[in-house]
A and B are shown apart, each in its own frame.
Chain A
């Protein structure tokens, strides 16, 4: 158990809909990352939050947004869903240790858009 909790584990929804994925980081970790994993693209970084503020942005679509709340849990909102958004979405939390950071991943949310 990594200590990172993601809900829901599975989500099936129709095109055009909006969904919210939730992540609770490990106790004490201030950073939360969201990654998208599809078969042909590997783990793609979407966005990072640190202590409630956006820290870095990756290949995140404008239809997607995220936030981190005062209790450090994070939500990833996906709207106007398309078939191509079907993927595994992972949340990770990390602690920076000098020149190193180690990420701990949740079990992911498998999103299927039909």
Chain B
């Protein structure tokens, strides 16, 4: 069974701070996605990383895929209250449906 471990589970920070959340697995994935979910809504895709070592930037969010394609990180610069939500990583290996981590619940306080 492929598992994705996300850390930390909970994170509460002040507006303007930087943060990094992690997504780790012992399995290799052909691609990895990050989703953000707000209360009462479904997860919304933020980014997909495919190549080992790949770095993608989405405004203040930087996503990195590990060289071995087993792990990923999400770094947020100068966090804002609008960044509050549940951040989920999901891995795809081509022969199984997307496997999700349990998520990091981020709270950014103004």
Contacts and interface: CB of A to CB of B under 8 A. Distances in A.
B42 A105 contact: yes
A107 B97 contact: no
A107 B42 contact: yes
B6 to A, nearest CB: 9
A107 B40 contact: yes
A43 B97 contact: no
Interface stretch (B56-64, B74-82, B100-108): B100-108
Interface stretch (A13-21, A67-75, A79-87, A95-103): A95-103
Given A42-B103, A43-B100, A56-B96, A102 B42 contact: no
Nearest to A10: B40
Give the one of A43, A101, A104, A107 with max B CB within 10 A: A43
Contacts of B90: 103
Report, nearest first, the 4 A-B pairs whose CB atoms are least far apart. Answer: A105-B42, A42-B102, A100-B31, A99-B30
28 contacts: A2-B42, A2-B44, A4-B42, A35-B100, A42-B100, A42-B101, A42-B102, A42-B103, A43-B88, A45-B97, A55-B97, A56-B97, A58-B97, A90-B42, A90-B43, A92-B42, A99-B92, A100-B92, A101-B31, A102-B33, A103-B33, A103-B45, A105-B43, A105-B44, A106-B42, A107-B42, A108-B41, A108-B42
Interface of B: 30-31, 33, 35, 40-45, 48, 50, 88, 90, 92, 94, 96-103
